[in-house]
Amino acid sequence: MALLVQKFGGTSVGTVDKIEKIADKLFESQKAGNGVVAVVSAMSGETNRLIELARQISHEPNAREYDVLVSTGEQVTIALLSMALHARGVDARSYTGAQVKILTDDSHTKARIMEIDDTAMQSDLEHGRVIVVAGFQGVDKNGNITTLGRGGSDTTAVALAAALKADECQIFTDVDGVYTTDPRVEPNARRLDRITFEEMLEMASLGSKVLQIRAVEFAGKYNVPLRVLSSFEEGPGTLISYEQRTEGKIMEQPVISGIAFNRDEAKLTILGVPDTPGVAYQILGPISDANIEVDMIIQNVGADSTTDFTFTVHRNDYDKALKILQEIATAVNAREVVGDSAIVKVSIVGVGMRSHAGIASKMFKALSDEAINIRMISTSEIKISVVIDEKYLELGVRTLHTAFGLAETASD
Ligand code: ADP
Ligand code: ASP
Ligand code: MG
């Protein structure tokens, strides 16, 4: 008997009709002889609706109460799905994060899972029950409800799979696997049969929202076999594993596995800063004190004993960062502060980059052939990212997808 953790995202449980379909699927899964643990998200749009309600009351709501509010969406779906399973004669039990208990730290809105008590779940499984767990939520040591960050149900599923030593953690969603890039932007994107944890981690951290980054981290750390599949169609999906190749097949791997993009960035530049030791700290210290995360950073070569300093932040933090930077500019006697929130980051990712030269120049040429101006560049061992104007996002992604032959070589 295989033990499966099967997670269904918001669009997969978006209507009562869809919840009924998921109940059929879980019923079949159990009938086939599997132990089944389901993890569900809130119905699509629900978490956004709850966040908007909070925003109408306060721009900075109390974090504890915010988590109490936004965790309610998942409580609705676990109850409805369990009822639908009962209607099929399946013995099912719903659990909130606190009921399980999924113990987290106390960082509200972005809590980390510390420990999972699997006693009740093990006993349910022994009794042949289907377990239905609310994704995205946990409880801290003082009994406060916490949430795991947007997209956090993926992480709940992987953490449960690790705790229960499940045979596979299956993430069912509205696409039938991980694609070479978001199929909503590039219709020629191809489903990958496999992708390595390392590449998936980069893709997730560079903006591919198909899996929450923490879920990938967790699966890699505890070696949880992780698969992304369609909720509505049959198919093998995409397996995320340490080994990229399908057993028995000896084929050259593509140099680039995928393209990720992030629409949530904004860039800020402080011009004419005195080029003296400590200047980077003087600029970024107050930004980090304000709890603003900085992504890319560039400091130009100093000329005339002054330099320019550019960095990117999340678009939600743009106004706050701009205000702080203007204060810093006055304090350090800089010339000017400029900013741009209509930018995006596009990245190519692939472990094959390690052993291939010329990938960056190929990327830059492809973009230049389309007259797309690169505003910033950053590289690491298996990725190259560029910041470009927002209006070129679709063109940039499609251009790179074609330039690296992803439509033809994606399947292994
Ligand atoms: P769920 O509600 O099931 O958690 P998400 O919206 O979080 O679903 O994730 C699925 C979406 O991720 C897809 O609809 C797709 O638009 C997007 N996506 C982004 N990058 C990729 C990619 N490389 N492969 C597949 N889907 C991607
Ligand atoms: N409902 C939560 C969200 O919308 C968690 C999830 O769907 O994974 O972010
Ligand atoms: Mg998701």
Fold of the domain built from segment(s) 3-174: Carbamate kinase (3.40.1160)
Residues flanking ligand 1, CB < 6 Å: 9-12, 41, 151, 173-175, 178-179, 181-182, 184, 208-210, 258
Q: Identify the pLDDT of residue 381.
A: 92
Cα-to-centroid distance, 273 and ligand 2 (Å) = 42
Residue ranges per domain, the chain?
A: 3-174, 258-409
Cα-to-centroid distance, 51 and ligand 2 (Å) = 11
Please give the full DSSP string across 5-57, using - where no structure is assigned.
EEEE-GGGGSSHHHHHHHHHHHHHHHHTT-EEEEEE-PSTTHHHHHHHHHHHH
Residues flanking ligand 2, CB < 6 Å: 9-10, 41-42, 47, 73, 135-136, 150-154
Note the pTM of the prediction, 2 decimals.
Answer: 0.93
Nearest-CA residue for ligand 2 atom 5 is: 151
Structure tokens belonging to residue 291: 């709890």
Q: Which ligand is nearest to the CA of 229?
A: 1
Angle of CA points 405, 407, 412, to nearest 5°: 95
Helix (H, G, I), strand (E, B) or coil at 74: helix
H-run or E-run covering 119: helix 119-126
Angle of CA points 183, 229, 165, to nearest 5°: 140
- Surrounding ion ligand 3 within 5 Å at CB are 9, 151
Q: Identify the pLDDT of residue 411.
A: 46
How far apart, in whole angstroms, are the C-alpha atoms of residue 1 and residue 14? 30
Fold of the domain built from segment(s) 258-409: VC0802-like (3.30.2130)
Residue type, 298: I
Does this chain's domain 3-174 share its CATH topology with 258-409?
A: no
Q: Which residues contact 106 (CB under 8 A, 6 or more apart)?
A: 140, 141, 142, 144, 146
Cα-to-centroid distance, 332 and ligand 3 (Å) = 43
Mean pLDDT in order along the chain per 10 residues (412 residues): 96 98 97 97 98 95 97 98 98 98 96 96 97 98 98 98 97 97 97 94 96 96 96 95 59 81 96 90 94 91 86 95 96 94 96 88 97 95 96 98 82 45
Number of alpha carbons in the 13 Å side-chain half-sphere of residue 89: 3
Task: Name the residue of 12, 77, 174 to mutate for ligand 1: max ligand atoms within 8 A of Cβ.
Answer: 174
Angle of CA points 36, 39, 40, to nearest 5°: 135
Q: Which ligand is nearest to the CA of 152?
A: 2
Cα-to-centroid distance, 57 and ligand 1 (Å) = 31
How far apart, in whole angstroms, are the C-alpha atoms of residue 200 and residue 210? 10
